[in-house]
Amino acid sequence: MDPVKKIKFSLVSLVILISGGTFGYATIEDWSFFEALYMTIITLATVGYSEVHTLSHSGQIFTIFLIVFGVGTIAYTIGSLIQFMVEGQLYQLLGRKKVQKQISRLHGHYIVCGYGRIGRLISREFASKPLPFIVVENDPLRCQCLAEDGYLFIEGDATQDEILERAGIHQAKGLVTAVTSDAANVFIILTARGMNPQLFIMARASEEGAEIKLKRAGANKVVSPYTIGASRMAQAILRPSVVDLIDIATGGKNIELQMEEIPVVPESHLVGKALSQSGLRKELKLIIIGIKDAEKMIFNPEASTIIEAGHILIALGELPDIKKLELIAANKHL
């Protein structure tokens, strides 16, 4: 039986037993309610106080049954409470150890600071990829939401070194700070950059003019959700078909069409081949929208463009074909 249900059952049984004992003494001995209740309590507690009044033969028999059933019920109630407390503490202890063990295994992951509206959406997108990540949040209510959503998280202040240490910042690939305060975002960026200079940091800007400050603090990229939202709303009116295409291509839940960036490893057999020789269009039916290297982005590359190691292919096509290209570019078997 569930520990909570056991506690409820034992408490209800105890209340019924006390009520029955009080009613029994009041009926058999013709005592007042308080006298009957007092006699029931001292009998169940086995404290050894003398009777309120001398018991009749029927009252003595009733007391025997009350002691027999009462001792068992009280022992069951105490045992249920102890079990609940011990199991709860063990569960919390084991849960913390399990989380720390999972965190210690993370490598090349992302740290999301803040689980508000923006942080929740980011986490949802990361999980759908899937991309390894951990959330840092100091609000207990939002931590409860994180536990319900099943995401790996740490409760604490992301501006503190020890919290970022626990989140595995030295092994992390990137950090996204999405708290509502620009000042807090600046502190988080400064702390993270000092602990891991190679970290890719993306920051949320809430107010105008905050972008410059966030970049000065060490952010690689700054995004303003309000600016992007306003631009997207305007584009939905000015260029509705373009926006619809972008929604289809970038929507993670869409299974028909997907746009993805795919890095090419040196071992891939795509290296050294022109786009026309790669078979991406003929065999996988993919459109290569762009190719990005360390210096620039080539939009709508020509068929003669040579694919090199380190290139990132921006591909558009159906999800199964995208997955095949990811395996080919990573030199993995289909």
What CATH number corresponds to the domain at position 311? 3.30.70.1450
Query: Are 191 and 219 found together in one domain?
Result: yes
Let me know if residue 258 belongs to a domain.
Answer: yes
Query: Are 179 and 273 found together in one domain?
Result: no
Let me know if residue 30 belongs to a domain.
Answer: yes
Distance of CA 21 to the CA centre of its chain: 50
What is the distance in angstroms between the CA of the first residue and the CA of the last residue of the chain?
48
Nearby residues of 221 by Cβ (< 8 Å), 6 or more positions away: 200, 201, 202, 203
> Minimal CA–CA distance to 178: which of 246, 241, 110?
110
Domain that holds residue 266: 251-329
Which of residues 76, 101, 126 is at a domain's end? 101
Let me know if residue 334 belongs to a domain.
Answer: no
Exposure letters 149-185 (e unless 16+ CB within 10 A, then b):
eebbbbbbbbbeeebbebbbbeebbbbbbbbeebebb
What angle is formed at CA 265 by the lines to CA 292 and CA 331, rounded to 5 degrees?
A: 130
Tens digit of pLDDT at every position of the chain (334 positions): 556 677 778 888 888 888 988 898 888 888 888 888 888 888 887 776 777 788 888 888 888 888 888 888 888 888 777 766 665 555 555 556 666 777 778 889 999 999 999 999 999 989 988 899 999 999 999 988 998 898 999 989 999 999 999 899 999 999 999 998 899 999 999 999 999 999 999 999 988 788 899 999 999 999 988 888 888 889 889 888 877 777 766 655 454 677 888 999 999 989 999 988 888 878 888 889 899 987 888 898 998 999 999 999 998 888 888 889 999 999 886 6
Let me know if residue 245 belongs to a domain.
Answer: no
